[in-house]
Structure 1
Amino acid sequence: MSDWNLLVSAFHFMRPLWLLLLPLVVFLWWRTRRIHRSRVTVDETIAPHLRKALTVGSSGKRRWQAIDGVGLSLILVIVGAAGPTWSRQPDPFVAQSAPVVVVLKVTPSMLETDVAPSRLERGKQKIRDLLDRRAGARTALVAYAGTAHRVVPMTEDPEVMVPYLDGLEPDVMPEDGDAAGAALQLASEILEREAEPGGILFVLDELAAADAEALNGFTASSIAVLALRPGDSPDRGLNQLSATSVTVTPDDEDLDRIERALNSAYRQALLDNVDQPWLDRGHWLAWPVALLMLLWFRRGWTMRWSGLALLAALVVPVEPARADGWIDWFPTPDQQGQRAFRDRDFSAAAERFTDPLWRGYALYRNGQYDEAITTLDRVETAQAAFIQGMAHIKSRGYRDAVRSFQTTLQRDPNYPNAQTNLDVAREIVDYIERTREQSDTGEEQLGADEVVFDNESNRGAETQMQVPQEKGEGALLSTEQWMNTVDTRTGDFLRQRFMIEARDQSREAP
């Protein structure tokens, strides 16, 4: 279903009883205009050519009169009061994009340079651009040639996927070929574990006719294909696709079409979510009403606007006066924060939100974990405790994360993913403490700087790592510095992992 059809199907009024006033307004407009037209007289003592020059506007039925502006303003106010809507309010704890599995073809044909710098490199560039646009949404990566392999599982952090994406080259794939069907099966298995409907994006240059039939017959998820081919070189398999197929473009037009295709089923699922209230769009009609009210200052157009002002006052809630600039004359600070949040400007959203729950979540999305935890202390809800737990995880405060997830379950025993995150946080704490026990040698290394990990249970010794203060050939290296000196390419790791997976698949095949 297209975005337009989806909008039309979801459009309705939240308070439709207000529409009963429309016939009354239309009747009063028609009655007043008829009376005014009957009172128009023409002074016959003035010469016709002078009378025509002195007359402003026409004297017929088409002349725009003051009552027309009043009637149109009242109609717009009534429609706005009825609450037109076509979308749900966004859930701050759920990404507003569908989970997507990106399937990249990694074969020698992808090294062709008819799409600069090469088909494979252009595909990687487009995937990175898509990841930037989908910040915070769940994305997985699958690569295929003769076999299909899951490169990165579903993740909300695009930075995790970038190094693995860069390491994908044809020489890391264990077998040559074009197993698009196997890649489709693997991608569908990944999406089956997601709570929301998602989509599959194939990034490829060619498609076999048999694989095109498989993609056409797949209805469990939305499918889109980004074709890495010049516009004047069509492919037989791509021509047979009924799914959305987009040829790569120098700008972002291809990504716009792909996102619309992948999010169609997800947007329908959001509309079907009865737990989220509808988003009232009636306030947008206040702008044309304000423009029409400017006609009040025209000479001869003065009207009694007290009735309209009274009706608007009853419909539009009064906000407390603020002096934060002209932008606060119209949208409230929370509405400004919502707009910045939708634009993924989380820093600006955190500054504008007055609602502590939304402000805390914006701080969390902006990476300000300590500030988010402090802000959410004022909110005693399961959502606030859950975000605090995630902030503790991000800042490596695993014990505090355990406490936050326990608080979440106390407030709402059925809160989604709270029990799973609690179990993971407990496993991390237990792993750290077991590591300390195993590394307890009774020796201490004293240094200018030391890193001490959380050890509330007093299991093992406090781990201390000496950090050298001098840069010389004989200087000692910290653990992190030593790891940074290890020269291992991501492609080498993927090659070994894919070989093991291909061997296991060949053993399971019989």
Structure 2
Amino acid sequence: MSGLLEGLHFARPLWLWGLLALPVLVGCCWARRRNASVWRSAIDAHLLPHLIERRVDRGGWLGLLGWLLAALCAVIALAGPGWRQVPASLQGVTSTPLVVALELSTATNAGDLPPSRLLQARAKLAALFTARGAGETALLVFADDAFTVAPLTEDVANLTLYLDALSPDIMPADGQRADRAIEHATRLLRQRGATQGAILLLASEADGAAIAEAATAARMGYRVSALGLGTPEGAAHRDSTGGLAHTRLDAASLEALAAAGGGRYARLTADETDLRTLDVQATRADTTRGDAVPGAGENGALRWADQGYWFVLPLLVLVLLAFRRGGALAALACVALLPMLPALAQNTGPEGTPWRRPDQVAHARMAEGTEAYRAGRYADAAQHWATLPGAEAAYNRGNALAKQGDLDAAIDAYDAALRLRPGMADAEANRAAVEAARRRTPPPGPGRDPRAPPRGQPQDGGRPSPGDGAPS
């Protein structure tokens, strides 16, 4: 018995105070029965036992017992008893948002990081987005000014869709204004309402204005780190006018920027040493819903499942027995009509089961689609999300179709999401990226993967401006 009680947990234990109302219910029923006889007010108390036949009212006490059991079941169900552990929901996990700012000046075409700084930076960002996993992440680029490529989104894997379109040719003016990039990043975090956040700057140098802006961001609660592009020796490149210029990595200025921003500095490397030094791969997550328990294992924290619904079944039976003559038949008719109520209403979502509501079925399918997407089974993910209503499901389906290379269907899915939720920033940004990829991709020929990047395509052909992804 003690082991059973130790394994019993209540999600809402304050409802157990309702048990104190049970003695009050018994007292009220006893007082009512005592005053039920009208003869007590007309006959003397010492004559009453000899004039009234005493009999045991079994039905009354059985009825009281039934009401007590019904109240007990209701209080226990409301308290949320649990004796089984289940994985904690992913919706209860929050993480520190990250804004990545990539320099796109002409200096990124320098070859001191073969084949170029830009290509090395693209590969590093792809590795970062893959390793980061969950957690809100945004991408912006800067030269003489800063522009948003993708707003803060939890769909980190789809940020890789934008990397192929990033080059100095899409920037309106050349420059290395890291201060404007940091200011733009703090604006994105403020729009999100984040009180804490991280900013990662990929650049080759930082001036005094950038260092001052990093210090301002740190005072606002946003940590600024820097990833250095280039080598101390540097290399030649052509500037925006076509002339030759020489650029080199100014590690000292970037270290000063990271120190002022309360972050870290690392030089871009071929392995993951730089990302581990910057501590931007793993998200800092805190469980905010459910009671975590020891022994969670590799799949995350566990929580006690709410099993209170098991007490609803006996409660319904007891309430049914409390009906007067003929009431039981009416109650059975009402219970028989309950499954027909969802059919009378317009319902475009999944149907419920005898053990799960339609919203629980929809949540399970959404989770199955997310698991398939993260495992790389994009066709299964799209199939799971195709049966779900709402803008989120249409947006997720578009992402899965884009991963499969079905760009036309992906655009249709994004359009469906925008019809359901006009102004959805993630859907607008991903649609623009997929539309740009579709314009760049030629018809597939023999032996050619339709999802592969085009060969012989100019760098600026059909690529969207970074500011087209979302409002800045």
TM above 0.5, one fold? no
Greater RCO structure (CA 8 Å; 6+ sep): 2
Structure that is richer in strand per residue:
2
TM normalised by structure 2 equals: 0.44
